Amino acid sequence: MKPIKLIKRWEENQLNTFYYFIGSLIFGSLLAFAVLYLSAYLLKMRADILFFFLLAVPSTATVFVALTLFRLASEAEHSKAKQSHQILEIARKTLPYLRKGLNFESALEVVKIIHGDTDAIAVSITDRDTVLGFHGVGEDHHLVEKPILTRATKEAIETNTTRILTSKVEIGCPMVNCRLKAAIVVPLEKTGKAVGTLKFYYDNPKNLTESRIAVVEGLAQLLSTQIELSELDRQKELAYHAELRALQAQINPHFLFNTLNTIIALIRTNPQKARRLLVQFSDFFRKSLEWKEGFITLAQELDYIATYLVLEKARFEDRLDINFDIDNEAQKCILPALTVQPLVENAIKHGFSADRPLEISIVVRLNERDMHITVVDNGCGICEEELDQVLKFGYGKGSGVGLSNVNERLRSLYGEEYQVTLGSIEGVGTRVHLKVPISRSKEDYEA
């Protein structure tokens, strides 16, 4: 049963009570009126006194009824507001744990929070088969990581409906002296399917009031929403890692072909240099394959770029010049893997002009909250017609990692504020700028 339906039923019960009370008062007023009228007739009471009584009795009854209705309505609103605040406060406290999904660790923390903020003597969370977390009275024998014993819990999961247990027998605890004698079992949902339950236990069936049931159901709905959000985060993370693996696999075939050709040419003329390049070539691919977590330090990214540039300079020699201007404090900052290297690769791939060497500068600066990364080259630049298209997903040719891919990853991870910005003048050069939030640990991205 949904919380809104429970509240409506509670209000209907209150209204029935109101109607009964009003009817009683009206009946009483009419009875008093009849008695007074009969008394006045028998006692031959004066007409003005009789008129006073005729007005006073119903008027007093009306005022009393109005005040009672107002008081009861105010109490109902106050009770609903208190319940809503309680549910939202618990949801706020549990959010950091359920963001990591429904598991033994998160369930244990969640039941501790709920138990501390409600009047239930014990609280538990299960998945479809196992007790994930239990806290409160009976935790010495209601053990986590054990199969669900209560038949009603299994039925709640199968039917995706709330179950109210009014006896120890229904709970199914084999311990003779167990104090758990009543329970509210509410399914936890993900995409409309029950994936577990939230259970509140009490020592007396009289505690199974509709207001408590409403609280448990409302809380279960919010926890279910948090579980669904955690699944979306997990799918997003999986998609990101899959994308990263695809990027690592998309090493430009032209780069491979040209590097191998350079090494082949050097084998006969300069075997020692060819050997060093083969070691660098192997190191370059080893590093790209090791990045499984998705986030690395700027120092690791720059080291990868340096290895890449050794191979490129072997090919272009004096026609390529690279400058690094990096804040020392930025070296330990975390950023998504393959964020800066594609900017350098694109500058080399598209920047060479016939009349001058290509100069590329990589500048990294920190401010209070962001790490700013700029890659500037003096290459041939980008014409105005193409400038607006470069950052659009899927633009360009070849199998390298494009600027649009870097841009989409940053937007997905951090929001629209962290888009790549691009400026270029044809025949003069190109400036690519991006920023990422300052972080010095991978845990910051997972929190």
Token pair belonging to 336: 């998504």
DSSP, res 99: T
pLDDT at 204: 92
- Cα torsion 37, 39, 42, 44: sign: negative
For the chain, counts of helices (H) and of strands (E): 13, 12
For 237-395, strand residue ranges (E) read 295-297, 320-326, 334-336, 358-366, 370-377
What one-character-per-residue DSSP string does 159-204 give? HT--EEE-SHHHHT---TT----EEEEEEEEETTEEEEEEEEEESS
Cβ-in-10-Å burial (0-12, 13-18, 19+) of 369 comes to exposed
Give me the DSSP letters along 300-359.
HHHHHHHHHHHHHHHHHGGGEEEEEEE-GGGGG-EEESSSSHHHHHHHHHHH-BTTB-EE
298 vs 214: CA distance, rounded Å:
51
Q: Is 163 exposed, middle or buried (0-12, 13-18, 19+ CB in 10 A)?
A: buried
In the predicted model, residues of the chain with pLDDT beneath 70 are: 1-87, 231-255, 257, 287-293, 392-402, 440-447
The per-residue pLDDT for 376 is 95
pLDDT at 11: 46
Q: How far from chain centre, in Å, is Cα 221?
A: 15
Q: Is the pTM of this model over 0.75?
A: no
Domains and CATH numbers, the chain: 3-233 (3.30.450.40), 250-446 (3.30.565.10)
Percent residues over pLDDT 70 in the chain: 69
Q: Are 377 and 347 in contact (CB under 8 A)?
A: yes
- As a whole number of angstroms, the distance between CA 52 and CA 92 comes to 60
In the structure encoding, which two tokens stand for residue 211, read together?
A: 């207001």
Please give the structure tokens belonging to residue 45: 């009471």
Q: Which pLDDT score is estimated for 404?
A: 78
φ/ψ of 401, rounded to 5, equals: -90, 110
Helices 210-249 and 3-43, axial angle in degrees (round to 10)? 160
Angle at 377 between CA 373 and CA 379, to 5 degrees: 155
CB-CB contact of 351 with 380 (8 Å)? yes
CA-CA distances (angstroms) from residue 279 to 273, 282, 303, 312? 10, 5, 15, 14
pLDDT digits (tens, 9 = 90+) for 291-303: 555 788 999 899 8
Per DSSP, the three-state class of 207 is: helix
d(C-alpha 286, C-alpha 282), whole Å: 6
Which CA distances in Å does 106 have to 60, 352, 373? 58, 54, 37
